[in-house]
Amino acid sequence: MKRLMNAVDTLLDESLDGLAAAHADILELGAERKFVRRKVLTPGKVALISGGGAGHEPLHAGFVGAGMLDAACPGQVFTSPTPDQMVAAIEAVDTGAGCLLIVKNYEGDVMNFEMAGELAVADGRTVETVVTNDDVAVPKSTWSTGRRGVAGTLVVEKIVGAAAEQLAPLEALRDLGREVNERTRSFGVALTPCTVPAAGKPTFTLAPDEMEVGVGIHGEPGRRRSKLASADAIADEMLGAILDDLAAPAGSQCLLLVNGFGGTPLMELYLMVNAARRILAGRGMTATRYLTGSLVTSLDMAGCSITVTALDERLTRLWDAPVKTAALSW
């Protein structure tokens, strides 16, 4: 494992300090680095709070700022943050209009946010939760953990963030978040594994000609391992899984998010954009909005995920609404 770091134990703290220094106009760290918060809060606005294990940068702290999150709680690499962090974040950014917790569907994240929510509610606050589960590589199910929340989470954060900025009430934002999640599907493919710094060796191994199809954002194995295929064939399988599950009517407009996992050059991501938009067109869908970049990453893993969100006019407007965060700005 080759890393630009000083020590495994201080990696996260040092990185957070760098983030805070570089974006002091937008965000600041909470005490003991328990959370990253917006510099300036809007009284009367519902507070949007997310969080999760580190290693997915810029998710979530990079999405703190006007038009998106009010606070993000960073856990250790690939490990959910803890309820004390979330409670501290809630206390720091709740201006009285309530808090919406946006949580990726991993038992760790869900349970820790749940405990935090219980503590905040016991403290007299109003808290609602949206759990994202956009990863179609895992079958949906009510009797098991079900689908993982992956890159689609950023779409939920952006769209709900825009609506929150317009002072929509808590329940409406929760419902909007669930609607966006319902309209969103993702699928990932890894060409190389990632290495958790504390573990020091790759989470899995792939032969030089293999890829992991349906990989999760922690390098969790996916649907199957197979021979490395062409970009077109990979995009075909990814969008096949996404669109079959999304079942959007032909003629639908959508957002296409091609997301790099950390070790994949932008040149390849744009090539995947090109492949994806042709396949979408072939299925009678039009990508009317695009986002391309390494935004929901898995440390140094090579590969990418594709996310499709079925848009309507309202969601498109909210997507286009201004945003000013460390990682997204328009």
Partner 1 sequence: MTPEHLHKLIVAVADAVIAHADELTELDQAIGDGDHGVNMRRGFEAVRADAAATAEKPLPDALKAIGTQLVMKVGGASGPLYGTLFLALGKTIAPDASNIAAAFAAAVQAVEARGKSHPGQKTLLDVLAPVQAALADGGPHLPARLPIVAAAAADATVPMLATRGRASFLGERSIGHMDPGARSSALMIASLCRALEELDLG
Ligand X SMILES: Nc1ncnc2c1ncn2[C@@H]1O[C@H](COP(=O)(O)OP(=O)(O)O)[C@@H](O)[C@H]1O
When binding is defined by CB under 8 A, the residue of 78, 187, 261, 319 that contacts partner 1 is 78
Establish if 267 lies at the interface with its own copies (CB under 8 A).
yes
Q: Compute CA distances 98 → 11, 37, 289, whole Å.
A: 33, 16, 31
Binding segment for ligand X among 31-39, 106-114, 133-141, 150-158 (CB under 6 A)? 106-114
Polymer length of the chain: 330
| Phi and psi torsions of 28, nearest 5° | -150, 160
Which residues are bridge partners to 309 per DSSP? 184, 255
When binding is defined by CB under 6 A, the residue of 30, 108, 146, 202 that contacts ligand X is 108
Establish if 79 lies at the interface with Mg ion (CB under 5 A).
yes
Establish if 76 lies at the interface with Mg ion (CB under 5 A).
no
| Choice between 80 and 129, CB closer to ligand X | 80
Binding segment for ligand X among 39-47, 105-113, 154-162, 282-290 (CB under 6 A)? 105-113
**Contact string (CB under 8 A) for partner 1, positions 160-199, x = contact:** ------------------------------------x-xx
How buried is 237 (Cβ within 10 angstroms: 0-12 exposed, 13-18 middle, 19+ buried)?
middle
Dist. CA 120–CA 72, nearest whole Å? 16
Establish if 107 lies at the interface with ligand X (CB under 6 A).
yes
Tokens representing 86?
């979330």
Q: CA angle, 10 as apex, 62 and 49 as ends, to 5°? A: 30
Establish if 78 lies at the interface with Mg ion (CB under 5 A).
yes
| Choice between 107 and 209, CB closer to ligand X | 107
Beta strand pairing call for 47-54 and 71-77: parallel
Dist. CA 137–CA 189, nearest whole Å? 10
Binding partner of 100, given its own copies, ligand X, Mg ion, none, CB within 5-8 angstroms per partner class:
none
Binding partner of 107, given Mg ion, its own copies, ligand X, none, CB within 5-8 angstroms per partner class:
ligand X
Q: Which residues in 61-100 contact ligand X (CB under 6 A)?
A: 79-80
Binding segment for its own copies among 52-60, 133-141, 168-176, 215-223 (CB under 8 A)? 52-60
Dist. CA 220–CA 301, nearest whole Å? 11
| Distance, CA of 203 to chain centre | 20
Q: Which residues in 291-330 contact partner 1 (CB under 8 A)?
A: none
Dist. CA 294–CA 271, nearest whole Å? 14
Contact yes or no for 296/269 (Cβ under 8 A): no
- Residues recognised as catalytic: 56, 218
Residues in Cβ contact with 193 at an 8 Å cutoff, skipping those fewer than 6 apart? 202, 203, 204, 205, 206, 212, 219, 301
**Contact string (CB under 8 A) for partner 1, positions 202-241, x = contact:** -xx-----------x-xxxx--------------------
Q: How far is the CB of 33 from its own copies (least distance, A)?
A: 12
Q: How far is the CB of 145 from ligand X (least distance, A)?
A: 7
| Choice between 103 and 276, CB closer to its own copies | 276
Q: How far is the CB of 119 from its own copies (least distance, A)?
A: 29
Give the three-state DSSP class for 127. Answer: strand
**Residues making contact with ligand X (CB under 6 A):** 79-80, 106-108
